[in-house]
Amino acid sequence: MRIIFETFGKWICTFIDFFYPPFRKYMNLRFFRYGVTGVANVGFSFVLYYFVYNFVLRKQLLPLGFYTFSSHVGSLIIVFPISNFIGFLLQKYVTFTESDLRGHVQLYRYFIIVFINLGINTFVLKVLVDGFHFWATPSQLVATFICIIFSYFSQKKFTFKKLIY
């Protein structure tokens, strides 16, 4: 399975790298790959959410026995782990390919960063919207920008770091 992911990752790198030259002055190749795979994964997540919300749950409640979730939250519960796992695979096999850490360690660290980002996003929204009474959408854009920068450097230096022997 690893060989398939590596092969597919190399193909994606070749595709992304084709579009890199105009951006060379503004960012390095790794950050460009990070951005492209991130945008692609967000797009995938939106499409998957739409599909789950409209065709899987059919805008109906999601009863899990112990609690019943609304359809929009239920869709998020279904989509969140899938899109984050796809994001992990893209980062592992496209953006940060030179890491020597074992895959399960990378996955564990990746989800730590995901949940820290969730906390940062929530905190920034609470401060900007509830504290400073800014509009929610621009506040979410600010929170997203902070999370992107934090996530890139944490994934680079923590999740997918290259060990020095």
pLDDT, one tens digit per residue, over 101-121 is 999 999 999 999 999 999 999
Contact 16, 32 (CB under 8 A): yes
Mention every residue, 6+ apart, whose C-beta is less than 8 A from residue 54.
Answer: none
* Per-position DSSP letters for 35-91, written without gaps between them: HHHHHHHHHHHHHHHHHIIIIISTT--EE-SS-EE-HHHHHHHHHHHHHHHHHHHHI
β-bridge partners, 63: 68
pLDDT at 165: 63
- Mean pLDDT of all residues belonging to the chain: 93
pLDDT, one tens digit per residue, over 65-107 is 899 999 888 998 999 999 999 999 999 999 999 998 999 999 9
pLDDT at 52: 94
pLDDT above 70: residue 61: yes
- The pTM of the full predicted model, rounded to 2 decimals, is 0.88
Closest CA to 121 of 100, 141, 91, 99: 141
Contact 75, 53 (CB under 8 A): yes
pLDDT at 163: 76
